[in-house]
Amino acid sequence: MASTSNSTSSKIITLRSSDGEVFEVEESVALESNLIRRMMEDDCANNIIPLPNVTAPIFYLVIEHCKKHAEMKDNKEKKKELRSQGEELLKSDPHTYSNLMEAVNYLDIKSLMDLTAQWLADFLKGKSPRLIRELLKIKNDFTPEEEAEILERNRWAFD
Amino acid sequence: MKINMVEVSRHYLDLPQIKCHQVGKMAKWINLHQELLEIIFDLCLLPYQIRMRSVCKTWRLILKTPRELPWLMMLPKKNQEEDHRHQDPDARAFFSLSEQKEDHHPDACAFFSLSKQKIHTIHLPEIQGKRCRGSFQNGWLMIIDELDIFLFHPWSKKRLELLHRSTLDFKYHSCIKHLGIPYMKMMRPHRIRKAALSDDCKLMVVVVYESDMVQLAFYRIGDDAWTDIVVPPGPMDVIYHNGQFYCITMWGGVYLVHIENGNSYAKRLTENMKEPFGGLYLVPDMLTDTNIMFVILRERVTRANVHETRDTIHFHIYKFPLGEKGPLDQEKEVVNKLIKVESLGDRVIFLGYNSPITVMASEFPGLKGNCIYFTDDSGASYANGPGDCGVFNVEDGTVEQLFAHGYHPAFAPPIWFATPPYSSYQRD
């Protein structure tokens, strides 16, 4: 299930997630990650590369995003598709999305970092602090007085 | 193979090991790597940054809103109208500079951030095809078209209706007799030259063109008509500062305009200028000394071979003291002389249809002090080429074009928009 190899003959890199699952990934996809690139340059290429900070489901998501991203170059339709999938994940499961962002940051994948950050920024656009808390499941730790003061100072920024 | 990422994540989240992991779910966003939060924060517009900072204490602590220079607001044009100008290659080139060009929409209002060198586009159908004749310190705009006049706040989208324009129509009917009512209606948006608004948004004074003269008129929210202010005659600019309205006439005389219970009176503060030939602006020195008022004269010349288009070539700067306790407290009328100013020091002033904005250059990395950033407020047609927008360097007297590509807005002159750190939004 976790294997992402296909019939092409490109080189396969083997990686192990923090929860012990082993992934076989095409080199071209794996090299999107600057972290993996650096590890391979340090001559780990023939061994299984450990990823102690990334769990299997999140790593699976990262790989799928990388693949899609490679496909979407110069393809507007694909770009839209990837974006709407990212947005859907953000809406339905913000927790996983935050894990995805952390993993992308850890793996140092610039292109995905830009995309996932932009989607989240667009998602936050126009939403009130209350709605942001509700959707992202963040606890409001301001006292009512503090909140009233913030609102008074920045009334223009709120609806 | 099409992969539904939501399904994938759901599938995995059913695994027992993941369920254990979910215990910390609530706090995850708050603990999101500081660097990541900052990247996202940086992608957001100022109002949304302020909202993000209001989500929780951790975010408030980590995320700091940088002070921004005023934004240059470019109004959306009307649908279909003036479409040929939308095709302007310069305009296209300009917009292609924008990183957010995908968001660009024909009726989106474009805000150019000088600090970030980036265009923020905001969908504002409320002011599409209308004109802006006032951009105030607190972020409110005065919006005018042939039918309506109202105050509008772009972020909250709040709208305060002012009195229907017809009460501001020409009272002297010589024009109407000759040119008819359609002409009069067409001219409505062009009749207000300048506007000033009180801090509580309840009282405003405008410089308004009559058929053959210019005068002031005021309106208080709830009034059933605009009221003429007859003295001083020939007003050029009006501002609101420290609870008072000030006005400068076309002869360069500065007046305090006091409005009370539907009546108004004016008190002269300065002598007339010797050669007041050009645009005149009042700029209170809000940053260093509230007792000083700058008077700025804008010198323009007609552009060679272009009808009705003029370019700014110089700004002459003067100042006078407003007095210790403010001009109203002075028993005797003290008429000040204007004193020539050779340098603005660290100050940078933004002029145009907006209420004047002053910033200290040293507070903004990369900004050069002793400069005036100006936009076109001459009411000239925009069919004639790039508008008169630029940066005047007081030190060496040079003018640099604001838009390197010769871009000019398709519909109306751009206007400086005060991002709130200057006024209502206090830093903490």
Overall domain count for chain B: 1
Q: Find, among B133, B259, B137, B144, the residue nearest to B207 by Cα.
A: B133
CATH fold of the domain at A12-125: Potassium Channel Kv1.1; Chain A (3.30.710)
- Tell me which residue in A102, A124, A141 faces B33 most closely, judged by beta carbons: A102
Pairing verdict, β B339-341 and B310-321: antiparallel
Residues of chain B neighbouring A120 (CB-CB closer than 8 A): 40
Closest residue in A to B21 (Cα–Cα): A55
CB–CB of B75/B411 below 8 Å?
A: yes
How far apart are alpha carbons B141 and B197 in whole angstroms?
A: 10
- What average pLDDT does the segment B129-154 reach? 86
> Cβ of B138: how many Cβ atoms within 10 Å?
19
pTM exceeding 0.80: no
Cα–Cα dist B156/B136, whole Å: 15
Residue A132 near residue B45 (C-beta atoms within 8 A): no
Token pair 């254990």: residue:
B20
B272 DSSP assignment: P
**Among A139, A93, A141, A101, residue whose Cα is nearest residue A119:** A101
Cβ-defined contact of A137 to B29 (cutoff 8 Å): yes
Residue ranges matching CATH 3.30.710.10 in chain A: 12-125
What is d(CA B374, CA B1) in angstroms, rounded to the nearest whole number? 56
Mean local confidence (pLDDT), B275-302: 88
Distance CA B377, CA B362 (A): 28
Check B17 against A95: CB less than 8 A apart.
Answer: no
CA–CA separation, B362 and B372 (whole Å): 15
Which carries the bigger pLDDT value, residue A132 or residue B99? A132
Nearest in space to B260 (alpha carbons), one of B244, B240, B237, B241: B244
Q: How many other β-carbons are positioned within 10 Å of the β-carbon of residue B247? A: 27
Closest-CA residue of chain A to B41: A121
Select the residue from B35, B36, B120 to test the A interface by mutation, using most A Cβ atoms within 10 A.
B36
Does B140 reside within a domain?
no
- Per-residue pLDDT tens for B335-346? 899 999 999 999
Which domain range does residue B40 map to? Answer: 5-62
The answer, yes or no, to whether the previous bond of B232 is cis (omega within 30 of 0) is yes
Say if residue B115 is exposed, middle or buried (CB neighbours under 10 Å; 0-12, 13-18, 19+): middle
Closest residue to B6, CB basis, from A93, A121, A142? A93
Q: Which of A89, A113, A141 sits opposite B57 (nearest CB)?
A: A141
Q: Is A129 in contact with B51 (Cβ distance < 8 A)? A: yes
Q: Is residue B142 part of a domain?
A: no
Residues of chain A contacting residue B15, judged by C-beta atoms under 8 Å apart:
57
pLDDT greater at residue B21 or residue B77: B77
ipTM higher than threshold 0.90: no
Given a cut of 50, whether residue B100 has pLDDT beyond it is no
Q: Tell me which of B1, B3, B5 to substitute to probe the interface with A (most A C-beta atoms closer than 10 Å).
A: B5
Would you say B68 and B46 are in contact if contact means Cβ atoms under 8 Å apart? yes
If one compares B281 and A93, the residue with the highest pLDDT of the two is B281
Tell me the pLDDT tens digit for each residue of B211-232. 667 889 999 988 888 888 888 8
Q: Phi and psi of B214, rounded to 5°?
A: -120, 140
Nearest neighbour of A89 by CB, restricted to B6, B58, B426: B6
**Chain B nearest CA to A1, separation (Å):** 11
Chain B residues with CB inside 8 Å of A121's CB? 40, 43-44, 48
The pLDDT value recorded for residue B183 is 59
3-state secondary structure of B59: helix
The alpha carbon dihedral of B132, B135, B138, B139 has a sign of positive
Q: Do B12 and A86 touch (CB under 8 A)?
A: no
> Which residues, 6 or more positions from B56, have their beta carbon under 8 angstroms from its beta carbon?
A133, A138, A139, A140, A141, A142, B30
* Residue closest to B315 by CA, chosen among B348, B353, B267, B271: B348
* B412 pLDDT higher than 50: yes
Task: Suggest the residue from B31, B42, B56, B140 to mutate for an interface test with chain A (most A CBs closer than 10 A).
Answer: B56
Distance CA(B70)–CA(B114), nearest Å, equals 7
Q: Count of alpha carbons within 13 Å of B40, Cβ hemisphere only? A: 28
Residue B2, pLDDT above cutoff 60: no
- Mean pLDDT in chain B? 75
Instruction: Measure the CA–CA gap between B170 and B201, rounded to whole angstroms.
Output: 25
* B19 assigned to some structural domain: yes
- Determine how many CB atoms are found less than 10 A away from the CB of residue B207: 23
**β-bridge partners, B298:** B279, B315
Task: Return d(Cα B136, Cα B127) in angstroms, integer.
Answer: 16
Which residue is it, tokens 């292609």? B96
Structure tokens at B219: 């309106």
The nearest CA of chain B is from the CA of A46 a distance in Å of 29
Q: Is B156 exposed, middle or buried (0-12, 13-18, 19+ CB in 10 A)?
A: middle
Interval A47-58: pLDDT, tens: 788 888 899 989
Across the strands, what pairs with B264? B259
CB contact under 8 A, B12 and A60: yes
Scanning the structure block, which residue is given the tokens 């310069």? B90
In this prediction, residues B322-326 reach a mean pLDDT of 63
Percentage above 70 pLDDT, chain B: 69
DSSP category for residue A43: I
- Report the C-alpha gap between A3 and B398 in whole angstroms: 66
Q: B17 in a domain, yes or no?
A: yes
Distance, in angstroms, between B28 CA and closest chain A CA?
7
Among B46, B57, B139, beta carbon nearest to A142: B57
pLDDT at B20: 30
The H or E element that residue B120 is part of is strand B118-123
| 3-class secondary structure, B388 | coil
